[in-house]
Amino acid sequence: MTDTPQFHALPDGRRIAYRINRGSGPALVFLPGYMSDMAGSKATALFDWASSRNRTCLLFDYSGCGESSGQFADGTLTRWRDEVLGLIEALIDGSVIVIGSSMGGWLMLLVGEALGARLAGLVGIAAAPDFTQWGRSAQDKARLEAGETLLDPNPYGPEPTPLHPGFFADGQANLLLEETIALDCPVRLIHGQRDSDVPWEISLRLAKALRSDDIQVTLVKDGDHRLSRDSDIALLLRQVETLSAKGSHT
């Protein structure tokens, strides 16, 4: 995947970088994780898989990430959800399967609720809904509520990972796991049991909270948070293919 990204302009001037392969549906929409972008290995593999099969697939960068405009400090789940919905509305006709990695697995639920009848399925990869709640100590929450930005060690790069108070407050306003999540589409959740960032039990909590009865959770015993090995990506693509076949016949 070497093509130059296109840009979708939002009414406030934000320019959202995206790549799209147009083909048959349901359309596949990939939501990256926190501080990630569409150049990641899972996103690239999905796009290449879709391209080779003439399937519609949309990748993009949230504002403040990758090649999109804006500041990461301004990013929130609500802001990024609205960007996703704007892209889907502008670029895609028909039904959609949303694939979310880590934070993208929280965002896919918010997007799915807004898509309504257009939602054909969800695939979560180490989905992390509510991580502002279960992933933070009371001391951390107090500091964030006081307006402080927290800097966490980053196992994937030299720069620390910031958590800004705006993102935290918006996350706390969008908690999902304590109530029924009113989605009825097929859902496939993949989680590594050696995930040191998001406990695999979160996927079980999510499966319980979702109203749908068509849910399968796949635990990868030796899988880490990124689930980006060849075998992990092959598993992801098998799940996407199964849901795509199901969605095309509904």
Q: Which of 96, 109, 105, 111 is nearest to 124 (CA)?
A: 105
Q: Are 118 and 112 in contact (CB under 8 A)?
A: no
**pTM of this prediction exceeds 0.85:** yes
What is the per-residue pLDDT across 78-101, written as a single tens digit (0 to 9) for each?
A: 999 999 999 999 999 999 999 999
pLDDT at 191: 98
Q: What is the pLDDT of residues 4-36, one digit of tens each?
A: 899 999 999 999 999 999 999 899 999 999 999
CA 12/CA 29 separation, integer angstroms: 23
Over residues 226-246, the mean pLDDT reads 95
Domains within the chain, CATH numbers bracketed:
6-129+179-245 (3.40.50.1820)
> Catalytic residue numbers?
102, 195, 225
| Confidence label for 154 from pLDDT (cuts 50, 70 and 90) | confident
- Burial (0-12, 13-18, 19+ Cβ within 10 Å), 86: middle
37-64 pLDDT, tens digit each: 999 999 999 999 999 999 999 999 999 9
Q: ∠ CA(95), CA(28), CA(197), 5° rounding?
A: 125
Q: Is the pLDDT of residue 109 over 90?
A: yes
Pairwise CA distance, residues 237 & 149, whole Å: 37
**pLDDT over 90 at 1, yes or no:** no
Q: What's the average model confidence in pLDDT over 214-234?
A: 97
Is residue 165 a contact partner of residue 148, using CB atoms and an 8 Å limit? Answer: yes
